[in-house]
Structures are given as C-alpha cells and as structure tokens.
Amino acid sequence: MKIKIIAQLIYYIIRLLNLTYRYEFIGLDNKEKAKAMNANRTFAYALWHQNLIGAIFSHIGLEKFTMVISESKDGELVAVTCEKFGHLPARGSSTRGGKKALIEIVRNMKQGYPGALTVDGPKGPAHVVKPGIIEIARLCQCAVVPLSPYASSHWVFKKSWDQFRIPKPFSKIVVVIGEPVWVDESVSRENFDQIAIEVGKKIEQGEEVAIKHLARKDQ
C-alpha cells in the first residue's frame, strides 16, 4: 500500500514537471522504418542509463513500452510508477531473475509493445552496450533503435557510476532517433559484440547531433 501511494505521488510530480519541458524529435522516420521491419510493428529502443529520465519523459502519452525493471524493493516502486503510465514492466535483472525477465519482455514485444532498455545498466560500465538487447531483438525478429535524448540544461549526479542526468525544469530536450540496426534470427553469439559496438556508436552519434542542434538554436 505504501509503495502504491508513493508511486501515485511520483506520477503526479512527473506529470507536472513534464509540462515545463519543450521537446523536439529528430529521426522519427527511423522509428517508422523499424516498425516496418517487424510483423507486429515492434522494435527495441537502446539508450544510455544516464539519459533514462529524458527518454521516459519525452515519450509520455506517445507510446506504451515494455522494459526490464529490477526485482528489488526500489524496482517495485519504479515498476508500479511505470504501470501508472500504461507501461509493461518485465521484472528481473542481469544478476537476479534475468531469464524470467527476458522471457517476459520478449512475450510483451511479440504482442506489439515496443521495448526500451538502458543498454549499459543497471551498474555499467557506462556507455558499453551489453548483449541482452541483441538477444531480445534476435528472439523478436526486430530492429534495435538507438535513442539519444539530450537536454539544454540538466543536473548531473557526478558521484553516480554513469553521471546520471536529470533535465532541469523549462529546458528543451532534443530526442534523436537513430538508424535502426536489424538483428537477424540467424546471427551467432560470436557476432553479438560487433552489433553491440555498432549500436553504441549510433547512440553516441545521436547525442552529438542533439548537442549540435541545441547549439545552433542558441545562436
């Protein structure tokens, strides 16, 4: 009951804070390309953990996602809050319940829900894509779509492992959606690392595009 009350408060705070942000999306056609690659029009967003807040806020009211959330007590609060926005949490992590979460997120995606994963989480190393999203895309026969949200002004938690960012109120958030990376069902695990590197580069490139775009707007 306590978690539900706190989750409800967080929900209202997020709604209010989100009203202060201005969003601009670049590369929406790439998302449509990814949808066209799959019979259920599903795909898997790949983003850095440090940009989680910008990614969540920028998609409020646009789409409902399925995502892996830890089975910890903190994860329960996150999961309940996400459910209030209509998302489908898949509970588990790389250290606990990982296989269960994998089965659950794949099932949700095959039902048409796009996936969203912080590909270097939950504990890093930062900006290194882990193979989980490649396996999920392979099982779902869908594309991985790099997602790079960047705010014009944000707080940075410098002591966190990933320099976690929270966009400041009234900032502009540019959301760059990169070229989809197709993962064929026949791809071998030996090639996972190569695909992961490609996805990581595209996320980084997307952030560079967002930063340059914001700089031009300020001139």
Higher pLDDT, 218 or 69: 69
CA angle 60, 109, 183 (to 5 degrees): 110
| Most confident among 66-70, 85-89, 110-114 (mean pLDDT) | 110-114
> Residue 138 in contact with residue 175, Cβ under 8 Å?
no
Task: Record the pTM.
Answer: 0.92
Q: What is the pLDDT of residue 180?
A: 98
Q: What is the pLDDT of residue 93?
A: 64
- Under the banding of pLDDT at 50, 70 and 90, the label for residue 218 is low
> Residue 6 in contact with residue 77, Cβ under 8 Å?
yes
Mean pLDDT for the chain? Answer: 91
Q: Nearest CA to 32 among 18, 22, 43?
A: 43
Please check the confidence at residue 94 and state whether its pLDDT lies above 70. no
- Under the banding of pLDDT at 50, 70 and 90, the label for residue 77 is confident
Higher pLDDT, 73 or 170: 170
Query: What's the rounded Cα separation, in Å, for the pair 85 and 157?
Result: 26
Q: Which amino acid is at 210?
A: A
Please check the confidence at residue 80 and state whether its pLDDT lies above 90. no
Q: What is the pLDDT of residue 99?
A: 82
CA contacts within 13 A on the Cβ side of 89? 17
Q: What is the pLDDT of residue 31?
A: 97
> Residue 55 in contact with residue 125, Cβ under 8 Å?
no
Please check the confidence at residue 97 and state whether its pLDDT lies above 80. no
Please check the confidence at residue 175 and state whether its pLDDT lies above 70. yes
Domains located in the chain, CATH noted: 2-218 (3.40.1130)
CA contacts within 13 A on the Cβ side of 87? 27
Predicted confidence (pLDDT) per residue in 17-46, tens digit: 999 999 999 999 999 999 999 999 999 999
Counting Cβ atoms within 10 Å, is residue 188 exposed (0-12), middle (13-18) or buried (19+)? Answer: exposed
